[in-house]
Structure 1
Amino acid sequence: MPAPASAPAPPSEGAAFVRQAYALVADLAAPRPGVYYADLLLSSLVGWAALVLGARAWPAAGAWVLLAVSALALYRAGSFIHELTHLRRGAVAGLSPVWNALVGVPLLLPSFLYVGVHGVHHAKPHYGTVRDPEYLRLTGWPRWKILLWVAQGALLPVALGLRFLLLAPLSLVHPRLRRLVWEKASSLSVNPAFSRAPPPASLRAGFAAQEALCAGWAWAVVLLAALGALPARYPLAAAVVAGAVGLLNQLRTAVAHRFANDGRTLDMEAQFLDSVNVPGSPLATALWAPVGLRYHALHHLLPGLPYHALGAAHRRLAAGLPPASPYLRACEPSLAAAYRRLGRPVG
């Protein structure tokens, strides 16, 4: 006599939480290409125009105001690299090459440094473990060490310059160096233990083209400056702006998660609670966490939502989920409050 079939296991609380949340915001899931392009084009235009004007005014005091505007605008434009990793193919046609032309190549920040990497961070078996490129456990770190870690973001132009001026051409003639460069110097990551796997065959040609364009652009700027055809104040101003962009991004990264996991595999609810929303002010908070990044816990809960929908989704979830829902436990009122909770799990 056959054994009676076992009853299906009840859904986990975490899965139920995700379903409840998605049901409230499902109508917001479609990306709006016009919003993407208008935002990206305007941010890029403001960023590059302010950079050129600031470099022309260098070293007058007004130059620093223009360079600050440039840094904020290009930081916003650069943050669309995050959207490129989540958009379904064809959802916003042509966005990747346009973004690389406007931002990725000029800033030596091509999309291949993030596409194929960020997905590892979201994968349930990898999130918060030693295999996660965007996770570094900060529990027990003194505040000065965290501040030093944030400050090193200002070295972004140095790291990218070395990557594309020297390592890119040298690695073409040295296979062992090539493998090392790919594993350790081809990812926007914070985890020094992370090693990037080889890219799939379908992406290799596109990645190689991006790398070649960045190397060519970097060498063109150096040669033009060396020959006197490009005044030194322009690449110097660009380096200052790129350093500010790197610093802002590292600051935002530092409060995107609690960074308190001890390496265990987390379920969806635990991953959500290890992430942070900082709704803050619609204007001020969007300067240091643009393109929806202030709703980072919400993004980990529902990674398919486009950035322009996250504000409305957050308001719906805060008002519509049951009082016992963990949603509001992932929210912090300000950058300072989120910083104080670094390395401390949600109780």
Structure 2
Amino acid sequence: MAMQETLTRAQGTNEPTIARPAANRVAIEDDKAMLRAAVELTRDISDARPAIYWPDMLGSAFVGYAALAGAILAEGAALTVVFAVVAVLALYRALLFIHELTHIHRDALPGFRFAWNLLVGIPLLTPSFMYENVHTLHHARTRYGTREDPEYLPLALMKWWSLPLFLVTAILLPVALLVRSAVLVPLGIVLPPVRRLVWERASALAINPAFRRRLPTGDFGRMVFWQELGTTLWSFALVASIFVIGWMPLAIAFGIISAVAVLNQLRTLVAHLWENEGEAMTVTAQYLDSVNVPPPGVLPFLWAPVGLRYHALHHLLPSMPYHSLGEAHRRLSAHLGMETTYARASHPGLLHLIGRIARSTMRPR
């Protein structure tokens, strides 16, 4: 959903602590040697492997729901917190397979999209249509970082208070999703203007408040219908559960999903450097505005799972399956070396990236 409607734009070296001015970033020419190597060195690892995708997604969902049940049923605050933390991390990982669904070939993993929506997307009120045909716009060569990019805001060039606001709004996401599916979608059946408004403004996992989604058509429109139906029926069941088992289980579940949303928003905050003011960028400039957090750090495995610790590399190779990104990074690093364009997108970790963006927002304009 576009949740940053209250954020106000402000004015705006790949050095670790100094933000590169937007104008310089736009002027970066493509590093053709890097782009060529990225394609040539990774052809043999570009196929999605069902033996990795299925156990990972199913295992993450199982652990997440088991821990969620444990958090609801546990006696004692300490045990509840332990179960809740496990539930947040596991459900977060399961949910982020929505990113893979937008990139893998439709014939690569038969049944995977349906199973993911049934087990994860619909139960978490985030079916795959909310990302499909949206995230690919973010990867479009002429859209990235522009006002037509649904997933871009120049956060590093905005006011300092935009960062905490960016994170805090995610807390309300579960309630917003429930209202959307249980109230607004059914209301849209009888009121076409509401239906159009909900689709255009509240049917995409986007952060750009100016983004308006086009109405779905064809096969995608039919898929949207069934996913919307399933999500709406599930939202009715969630509301009805309050009258059967009380409000506490739903409150705990929503608390856990809120934590998942905040964690994802935090990852989004450091997925890019957010230094572009709306001009079209070269592929290399887009790469350098994106972030890799490669090993030896282990924490990115938790806060940027399913390959998202290699987000800059993902912008070079959008169709590369998540399980191959680590090997692709090793090959490119070995081939290109540490004093090259490729190495400049690597950053030490979460705190470093947060500090970099925070310092940028507090600089005089």
Question: TM-score over 0.5 for the alignment?
Answer: yes
Q: What is the CA-CA distance between 1:303 and the residue it aligns to?
A: 0.8
Matched, 1:150 2:190: no
- Deviations, residues 76-132 of structure 1 (Å, cap 9, x unaligned): 000000000000011011110100111001110100100010000000111101111
The question of whether the paired residues in 1 share the 8 Å contact of 2:182 and 2:232 is answered with: yes
Residue 263 of structure 2 corresponds to which residue in structure 1? 248
Question: How far, CA to CA, are the matches of 2:72 and 2:241 in structure 1?
Answer: 16
The question of whether the paired residues in 2 share the 8 Å contact of 1:21 and 1:321 is answered with: no
Residue 304 of structure 1 corresponds to which residue in structure 2? 319
Q: What is the CA-CA distance between 1:180 and the residue it aligns to?
A: 0.9
Q: What is the CA-CA distance between 1:313 and the residue it aligns to?
A: 1.1
Larger Rg, first or second structure (1 or 2): 1
**Structure 2 residue aligned with 1:113, among 116, 119, 130?**
130
- Deviations, residues 2-32 of structure 1 (Å, cap 9, x unaligned): xxxxxxxxxx743442111221222111111
Question: How far, CA to CA, are the matches of 1:292 and 1:324 in structure 2?
Answer: 24
Residue 346 of structure 2 corresponds to which residue in structure 1? 331
Residue 222 of structure 1 corresponds to which residue in structure 2? 239
**Structure 2 residue aligned with 1:285, among 292, 300, 316?**
300
**Structure 2 residue aligned with 1:213, among 227, 230, 235?**
230
Amino acid at match of 1:298: L
Q: What is the CA-CA distance between 1:153 and the residue it aligns to?
A: 1.4
Question: How far, CA to CA, are the matches of 1:302 and 1:190 in structure 2?
Answer: 23
Question: How far, CA to CA, are the matches of 1:296 and 1:187 in structure 2?
Answer: 20
Kindly tell me the number of residue pairs found equivalent between the two proteins. Answer: 332
Matched, 1:269 2:279: no
Cα distance 1:284–1:323, how it changes in 2: closer, same or farther (>3 A)? closer
Q: What SS does the aligned partner of 2:155 have?
A: coil
Q: TM-score, normalised by structure 2?
A: 0.87
Matched, 1:260 2:275: yes
Q: TM-score, normalised by structure 1?
A: 0.92
The question of whether the paired residues in 2 share the 8 Å contact of 1:15 and 1:268 is answered with: no
Question: How far, CA to CA, are the matches of 2:208 and 2:63 in structure 1?
Answer: 33
Residue 219 of structure 2 corresponds to which residue in structure 1? 202
Residue 87 of structure 2 corresponds to which residue in structure 1? 70
Q: What is the CA-CA distance between 1:282 and the residue it aligns to?
A: 5.6
Q: What is the CA-CA distance between 1:172 and the residue it aligns to?
A: 1.0
The question of whether the paired residues in 1 share the 8 Å contact of 2:200 and 2:212 is answered with: yes
Cα distance 1:261–1:277, how it changes in 2: closer, same or farther (>3 A)? same
**Map 1:9-28 → 2, pairs under 5 A:** 13-28=30-45
Residue 316 of structure 1 corresponds to which residue in structure 2? 331
Amino acid at match of 1:146: L
Matched, 1:183 2:189: no
Residue 294 of structure 1 corresponds to which residue in structure 2? 309
Residue 6 of structure 1 corresponds to which residue in structure 2? none
Q: What SS does the aligned partner of 1:189 have?
A: coil
Q: What is the CA-CA distance between 1:225 and the residue it aligns to?
A: 1.6
Structure 2: gaps of 5 or more residues: 1-28, 361-365
Matched, 1:45 2:62: yes
